[in-house]
Structure 1
Amino acid sequence: MGWPPASVDDLRVRLGASLFRRVAGPSGEETRARIHGTPGPRWFGPERPIRTVHGDASMFAGGLAALLLQSLHPLAMAAVAAHSGFRGDPWGRLQRTSTFLAVTTFGTADDARRAVDRVRAVHRRVTGTTAEGVPYRASDPRLLGWVHVAEVDSFLRAHRCYGAAPLDRAGYDGYVADAARIAQELGVEHPPRTVAELAEQLAGYRGELRGTPAGREAARFLLLSPPLPWQARPPYALLAAGALALLPPWAHEQLGLPYMPRSARPVARAGGVVVTRAIRWAMDPPPPDGITLPRARPGGSSRR
């Protein structure tokens, strides 16, 4: 005997609301209304590729992959470990990051500017030294550049693999160029503007990357010990596998992760496809009676 339609719809609504609260926080609905309901010019129009990429459920896998990849820079990882509170308040950090992405991608130019100014003020306060005594500054343009290229590369790879409507090469070049606008506002010097430039800059950081105890501990926390109820662990495991499949093999080795043979990557990506489609199903419920409604998205965003 199957579920009655009302029960399926109710499950869908509850799952979508739960996911939205996780990524957007308790004030997510108010934040989403402000982002999309405030009139005024935007940095990016509705036709821009960054809206397509950042408004897709593939961002869940891309965000996890980005965190893992970013942790391979010892200075970036030292700053995160000392200042972000990712272990004590991982959901708070996720909500702040997703809100920043939503505001700068979909919000008014004034709100985007204020969001950037807040982040830059935080970066100016984040300074310290690594366990080896190497000084770091979160406002260092070189370090900001690494965080940016690792993030954009991960989001792009995730959208190619798991996006509802992958873009063509010109579309992804446009995405990289759009993301460069935000990067420059944050203090990145000469951010990449094409997919080819993104790959070149990412390769240019290879000599600075290595696995550290803090980075490997963060990877174990993100992959094996996330603060989730037991019911959410199986789908999260699929999401994690999908995120790992996005990382280059050298990143697996440096993070101390089990080697993923080439033959296993399609299986891991299949898991990523399944969980991304489930997230999309939960967060994009069909409108009742033909009415067009805003579509819930990661980061407190929605597309109209």
Structure 2
Amino acid sequence: MLGMKSYLGWKIDFLHPAGEPAFAGPDSVSWRVFKNPIALGVGGIAAVLLEFADARIRSGVWDHSTFKTDPVGRSRRTGIAAMVGVYGPQSAARRVIQGVTNMHAKVSGTTPSGEAYRALDVDLLDWVSATAGWGFLTAYDRFVKPVSDADKTRFYAEGDAVARLYGVQHPLTCEADFQAMLDTLLPRFEPHPINTEFLDIMKSGRAARGVPKGLQSAIVHAAVAILPTDVRTRLELGPEYDLSPRGERAVGFMGALAEKIPLPGSPPAQAAVRLGLPSTFLWKHADAQARLLKDVPRPAVASIAT
């Protein structure tokens, strides 16, 4: 079927069925944030660091996934799962999320210190969901465009339905929720060689073929830069990970550029077409977007599809 693609083992069609809504609509903050690859790169790396800070998650990922043998592929699968939750037809999103949940149901073990864990433990699901949402939004806000407090609240509300499909019981509703969760977990956080190994892989150029190695290094440093100070201190990510003024300008320039250059064939472009909009919809000026949305049936453009 035209539009059907295999994304690292998942067959997902962002073009069909025509008109089927996603869990977030084209007028959502989520569609705006997730279309930007710089925000996703910076936010995704920050999210992994926040997750790996907890030995239970670090052990679960390291011992039960392909992360240590194929970190790039595993990271991309995580990214595609996020994309289908934002842009995919709801039927496809439910199928992929159920598949991920089925895999997680088989993951359990003990940390090196002897603490038992299960991937479906509620506090772990809540934290993984929180780190992803917070990471992508914070990266977009800092390196692409400022996001208002009202839009931040909208962003978290838009992710509620998908988070609950994953089994999350306490999805973020605001920045204060993230801080409260962080305050609870922070005493557990610890430095570990896996963290620096992960960062070295991300800086090596393996994560995005064709992207200059210098830019990839800047993206890694940008991810460390958005971490809460107390987290960075706990993880012992010292001045060698500081983001230089030149690096900050480079990441900001690329983030702004990515806002303007359409990516034909990408999930956000195909999702727009599925809902009767031009493939370039998300890269157009806000005024033009508003005019286009007037001609689209309201169920398709609702920020949270029912």
Which of 147, 153, 177 pairs up with 1:197? Answer: 177
Which of 127, 137, 141 pairs up with 2:122? Answer: 141
Distance 1:121 1:240 in 2: 31
Q: Give the equivalent residue in structure 1 for 2:291.
A: none
Counterpart contact for 1:176–1:194, Cα < 8 Å: yes
Within the alignment, does 1:270 sit opposite 2:249 as a pair?
yes
Cα offset for 1:193? 1.1
Q: Give the equivalent residue in structure 1 for 2:295.
A: none
Cα offset for 1:139? 0.6
Distance 1:265 1:175 in 2: 29
Q: Give the equivalent residue in structure 2 for 1:75.
A: 56
CA 234–280 in structure 1, closer or farther in 2 if over 3 Å, else same: farther
CA 190–231 in structure 1, closer or farther in 2 if over 3 Å, else same: closer
SS in 2 for 1:257: coil
1:96-115, aligned counterparts within 5 Å? 96-115=77-96
Which of 170, 173, 187 pairs up with 1:207? Answer: 187
1:26-67 CA-to-partner distances (Å, cap 9, x unmatched) read 8459x8982133222322221121111112232121112211
Distance 1:199 1:266 in 2: 27
Cα offset for 1:280? 5.3
SS in 2 for 1:117: helix
Counterpart contact for 1:241–1:271, Cα < 8 Å: no
Which of 219, 238, 262 pairs up with 1:239? Answer: 219
Cα offset for 1:94? 2.5
Cα offset for 1:296? 3.7
Q: Give the equivalent residue in structure 2 for 1:257.
A: 237
1:185-215 CA-to-partner distances (Å, cap 9, x unmatched) read 1111122212222322232221222223433
TM-score, with normalisation over the residues of structure 2?
0.76
CA 251–199 in structure 1, closer or farther in 2 if over 3 Å, else same: closer
SS in 2 for 1:192: coil
Identify unmatched segments of 5+ residues in structure 1.
Answer: 1-25, 286-293
Counterpart contact for 2:110–2:117, Cα < 8 Å: yes
Q: What residue identity is the alignment partner of 1:238? A: A
Distance 1:251 1:90 in 2: 22
Which of 48, 69, 91 pairs up with 1:88? Answer: 69
Cα offset for 1:301? 7.1
Q: What residue identity is the alignment partner of 1:172? A: K
CA 213–100 in structure 1, closer or farther in 2 if over 3 Å, else same: same
Identify unmatched segments of 5+ residues in structure 2.
Answer: 273-278, 282-306
Q: What residue identity is the alignment partner of 1:219? A: L
Cα offset for 1:297? 6.3
Distance 1:144 1:190 in 2: 9
Q: What residue identity is the alignment partner of 1:208? A: R
Which of 284, 296, 301 pairs up with 2:262? Answer: 284
CA 87–279 in structure 1, closer or farther in 2 if over 3 Å, else same: farther
Which of 13, 16, 36 pairs up with 1:56? Answer: 36
Within the alignment, does 1:161 sit opposite 2:139 as a pair?
no
Counterpart contact for 1:65–1:244, Cα < 8 Å: yes
CA 301–247 in structure 1, closer or farther in 2 if over 3 Å, else same: farther
Distance 1:251 1:68 in 2: 9
Counterpart contact for 1:102–1:300, Cα < 8 Å: no
Structure number with the higher helix fraction is 1
Distance 2:241 2:61 in 1: 30
CA 54–68 in structure 1, closer or farther in 2 if over 3 Å, else same: same
SS in 2 for 1:144: helix
Distance 1:190 1:230 in 2: 39
Distance 1:261 1:130 in 2: 27
TM-score, with normalisation over the residues of structure 1?
0.76
Cα offset for 1:299? 11
Range 50-59 or range 116-125, more displaced: 50-59
SS in 2 for 1:136: strand
Counterpart contact for 1:56–1:298, Cα < 8 Å: no
Distance 1:70 1:136 in 2: 14
CA 110–255 in structure 1, closer or farther in 2 if over 3 Å, else same: same
Q: What residue identity is the alignment partner of 1:76? A: I
Q: What residue identity is the alignment partner of 1:239? A: I
1:207-242 CA-to-partner distances (Å, cap 9, x unmatched) read 222223433433343345746669731121121222
Distance 1:151 1:105 in 2: 13
Distance 2:152 2:211 in 1: 36
Counterpart contact for 2:205–2:211, Cα < 8 Å: no
